[in-house]
Amino acid sequence: MLKFTLLKEVVEQKEKFSEDSSVKFAFTTNAYDKFDQSMLDFFVYNRIILNISLDGPEEINNASRLAKDRGNCFKNVIKNLELLRKRGFPFALIAVVDDRLTDSKFTINDISDFLYTYSPIYKIEPSYILDRGINNYTGNRMLRFDKLLNQQAVFIDDIFIKIASLDEGNYTYENNVLLTMKNIIYNEHHDFICSAAKSITIFPNKRAYSCYNLISDRFLVSKDISNEDTEILEETLSQKQEILKFSYYPNEYKLIENFGGDYCPLENNFDSFAYLYRKNMIENVKRNLRDIRSGSAEHLSLLNYIDKGFTNRYFYNL
């Protein structure tokens, strides 16, 4: 968002990306700087998919989000959320969960309830930097790690309790839980370990890779995409897709296929909080699903929950 003028130039030339201008743009921002009226108009007119980082209440959010100008990150974000709500523009929130929660009075359930007050669509993402290996987690810190996984189990149980109560007014849609439910219920399978197989990242020097995280020769799509032959480019993209299939990676990746989000091929750490959070979510969703009888009122409520989750106004921009 610091390069908003550049972003506008790209979006306003969207006919170059697709003949019918149907290409979609998504912005992920910490929303620290104030959205002015021209920005809001731009979001609305171009149907921008807007994702905003907010880790929770002020003491949680500001514990790891520090502003160079010493401003209050939390208060600035909230002001922008209020501007978006007044304009009636849908957005999603993204919260990162780490051991800040174990040092506070808050739980994952509390973070969920807090995010829901601003948007019914949100994502609670596990931190990649947490590792239960001996070099990073010993003694009391191991207990903190397990405490977060227990909080996640309670959080998912509460979502299912609300579904079973048939109380649509209390439905909340954490995106990872929603997608995990859908993948399990409809037995959906995925060929690739992450969404990099369906995307391409182009850098200012015109080099292109499968993803902005996968910057290596193995994932190099083009050294100069502006001069690339179309047929060669399509063949290269197909090759890069192939090496992102589950079969190229340890079986642990396949074990979290049902999870709604991605697991980066660079992570490759199956003792990390990020991996175990995903695996734990699948197990907890499956455990709750076993208690729902097919054709029952609870089952119909579950299907209704999934349908309403994916027809939220936020997804209209997709």
Amino acid code (one letter) for 162 = K
Residue 240: predicted pLDDT: 92
Q: What angle do CA 86, 88, 92 make, to 5 degrees?
A: 105
Domain that includes residue 202, residue range: 195-243
Q: In whole angstroms, give the CA distance from residue 165 to residue 299.
A: 11
Whether 305 maps to a domain, the answer reads no
CA separation, residue 187 to residues 59, 180, 213 (Å): 40, 10, 29
Number of domains in the chain: 1
Which tens digit of pLDDT belongs to each residue from 117-156? 999 889 999 987 766 554 444 556 567 778 899 999 999 9
Whether 156 maps to a domain, the answer reads no
Which tens digit of pLDDT belongs to each residue from 57-86? 999 999 888 888 888 999 999 999 999 999
Whether 180 maps to a domain, the answer reads no
Whether 70 maps to a domain, the answer reads no
Whether 114 maps to a domain, the answer reads no
Residue 12: predicted pLDDT: 83
The DSSP letter of residue 34 is P
Which tens digit of pLDDT belongs to each residue from 86-114? 999 999 999 999 888 888 899 999 999 99
Which of these ranges, 37-46, 69-78, 171-180, 225-234, has the smallest mean pLDDT? 225-234
43: pLDDT strictly greater than 80: yes
Residue 309: predicted pLDDT: 87
Residue 184: predicted pLDDT: 95
Provide the whole-model pTM: 0.86
Whether 79 maps to a domain, the answer reads no
Whether 237 maps to a domain, the answer reads yes
Which pairs with CB-CB distance under 8 Å and at least 24 residues apart come from 138-144? 141/99, 144/99, 144/102
- Residue 157: which residues within 8 A CB-CB, separation 6 or more? 284, 288
1: pLDDT strictly greater than 60: yes
- Residue 292: which residues within 8 A CB-CB, separation 6 or more? 160, 164, 298, 299, 302
180: pLDDT strictly greater than 50: yes
Which tens digit of pLDDT belongs to each residue from 262-291? 888 888 888 888 999 999 999 999 999 999
Residue 134: predicted pLDDT: 45
Whether 199 maps to a domain, the answer reads yes
Best CA proximity match to 61, nearest among 118, 122, 106, 119 = 106
CB crowding 94-110: b at 16 or more within 10 Å, else e: bbbbbbbbbeeebbbbb
Do 78 and 37 form a contact (C-beta atoms < 8 A)? no
Q: In whole angstroms, give the CA distance from residue 117 to residue 15.
A: 37
318: pLDDT strictly greater than 90: no
Q: In whole angstroms, give the CA distance from residue 77 to residue 34.
A: 8
Residue 154: predicted pLDDT: 96
| DSSP states of 132-170 | -STTT--THHHHHHHHHHHHHHHHHHHHHHHHHTT-GGG
Q: In whole angstroms, give the CA distance from residue 280 to residue 284.
A: 6
